[in-house]
Amino acid sequence: MLREVAQRLLGGSSYPAEVERITAEGHRTPAGNLWTAGTLRRTLTSPHVAGKRAWKGEIVGDATSPAILDEGTWLALKGRAAAQRRGRPPSNRFLLTGHILCGECGRAMYGNATPTSWAYRCPPGQASTGKGCGKVSIVGPPLDDHVVAEVTGWLADGAIHAAVQQLTAGADAAPDELAEIEDRLARLGALHAEGVLTDLEHHGATRTLIARRDELASRRSLPAVTGDAVAEAWEQARAAGDRPAMRSIIGLLAEPIVVRPVGRFARVPAPERVTLEPRWAGVEA
């Protein structure tokens, strides 16, 4: 049934339409529940359906159970889901959503309303849940103003034109190194699964590789643009108040924006709490 659904989806069908069809045919989930569009999407894009084993979101090798979908079909479905996510309009409310990190635990911070304004906060939780430490927050409007002023200043500098082109020019050099990193991660995952590496040893061995892989992947995603085009797009987005467009340009130009923790009642201005560097810093001229 899943193979048939996959082929129909790639042929132009939708998840709601497929849920309606398989429900009418009497199909249920392995737990005996009714299928939903979300459950069906998660099932068809999960690693195990392609016969792969994952650890904390990373593919670490082949699973012991056979694949339901061939890898090409699975990758096509994942690409379809990613394209649909990219096509959704992001929230306009908080400018730095997706680009701001907690300086205490390194996890993403999110915008939240307060009685008088709004703030970016690190959500509380345990590391195993993927949530943050809950210790860091910063008032939103001054931080947004600071980041906008910094990016505007960068774009007013003629040096950015060559810098952005130099940054994007290295995108084609990444595939070979990315493939090598994925191979090394898979080997480490296999050793961990066999008990040769402890959890702590596996984490230490993979941390640097994952950071490098993410850096290369983000560089590959950068569009081949010129500084002039970015500057023009930025000014148009600012004039129109187009926060999704501004957010995209901030993601292109800036490293993750890190907010340093301070005492609970300390009043430290946003610029003094924030690490904000251009992505081209360190790129050879």
Q: Provide the CATH number for the domain around residue 68.
A: 3.90.1750.20
Same domain assignment for residues 130 and 269 = yes
Q: What mean pLDDT, rounded, does the chain reach?
A: 76
The answer on 111 and 68 residing in a single domain is no
Please say which residue of 87, 110, 125 terminates a domain. Answer: 87
Q: Residues 246, 128: one domain?
A: yes
Over residues 243-256, mean pLDDT: 78
Banded model confidence at residue 262, pLDDT cuts 50, 70, 90: confident
Instruction: Report CA-CA distances (Å) from 154 to 100, 101, 111, 157, 271.
Output: 19, 21, 25, 5, 16
Residues contacting residue 30 through CB under 8 Å, at least 6 positions apart: none
pLDDT of the residue at 4: 93
Instruction: Look at residues 25, 58, 87 and tell me which one is the last residue of a structural domain.
Output: 87
DSSP 207-239: HHHHHHHHHHHHHHTS----HHHHHHHHHHHHH
CB 140 within 8 A of CB 120: yes
pLDDT in tens, 60-70: 778 888 889 98
Give the 3-state secondary structure percentages of the chain, helix then strand then coil, rounded to 5.
55, 10, 35
Range of the domain at 182: 95-285
Task: Evaluate whether 134 touches 127 at the Cβ level (below 8 Å).
Answer: no
Distance CA 164, CA 283 (A): 10
* Structure confidence at residue 44 (pLDDT): 92
Boundary residue ending a domain (87, 121, 156) = 87
Q: Are residues 112 and 178 in the same domain?
A: yes
Question: Which region holds residue 120: left if phi is over 0, alpha if psi is between -120 and 50, else beta?
Answer: beta
What pLDDT shows up at residue 88?
A: 47
284 confidence band (pLDDT: 50, 70, 90)? very low
Do 157 and 100 lie in one domain? The reply is: yes
Paired sense of beta strands 257-259 and 100-102, if any: parallel
Q: Is residue 80 located within the same domain as residue 150?
A: no
Structural domain total, the chain: 2
196-204 mean pLDDT: 72
Looking at the structure, do residues 222 and 111 belong to the same domain, yes or no? yes
Residue with tokens 């009685």: 115
